[in-house]
Amino acid sequence: MSKKSKILKTVLSLYIGFVFIQSLFFKFTGSPETDYIFSTLDKWAGGLGFPGLFLPPGIFNAYVIGSAELIASLLILTGLFLKRPLFSGFGALMALGIISGAIFFHLFTPLGIDVLGDGGVLFGMAVGIWISAAILILMHKDHLLWLIKKS
């Protein structure tokens, strides 16, 4: 692997880890921003006949999403620092799945792109994670495909 590829992998991994891990404080402490996001999504889901989906004990509440983000971050960072590319690949797959959901909810629900007047910063970070995770998956595709072929 070239030096540029190693630097890119490091930067992308650290970006995902930073954004996901720093957001845990908000998700795990019930911050006003988190309460707004998840209650807005829950009202939307309730209108579709699925009330309680985004609030505890719903399956997509802030604690569940935050825990998934933590696991994805730990996999990506463990893979990076311990040179375990399969861990990084799995973490990137998880991150892509998690953040695809977040982007969907920003775009197709009342949540919107500009959350509480942030000018779209939260949405922009989500797009950055999506792009970073997709690139990491491509960088680790041989390891991920090897595992599929092995089973």
Q: Where are the domains of the chain?
A: 3-150
Q: Using an 8 Å Cβ cutoff, are 88 and 147 in contact?
A: no
Q: Residue 19 pLDDT > 90, yes or no?
A: yes
Q: What's the CA gap between 47 and 38, in Å, rounded? A: 14
Q: What pLDDT shows up at residue 37?
A: 97
> What crossing angle do the helices spanning 121-139 and 3-29 adopt, rounded to 10°?
140
Q: What's the CA gap between 16 and 144, in Å, rounded? A: 19
Q: Using an 8 Å Cβ cutoff, are 136 and 5 in contact?
A: no
120-144 per-position pLDDT tens digit: 999 999 999 999 999 999 999 998 9
Taking alpha carbons only, the member of 103, 150, 137, 95 closest to residue 122 is: 103
Helices (H), the chain: 3-29, 32-47, 62-81, 85-108, 121-139, 141-150
Q: What pLDDT shows up at residue 80?
A: 97
The model's confidence at residue 110, banded by pLDDT at 50, 70 and 90, is: very high
CA angle 128, 114, 92 (to 5 degrees): 20
The SS3 of residue 118 is: coil
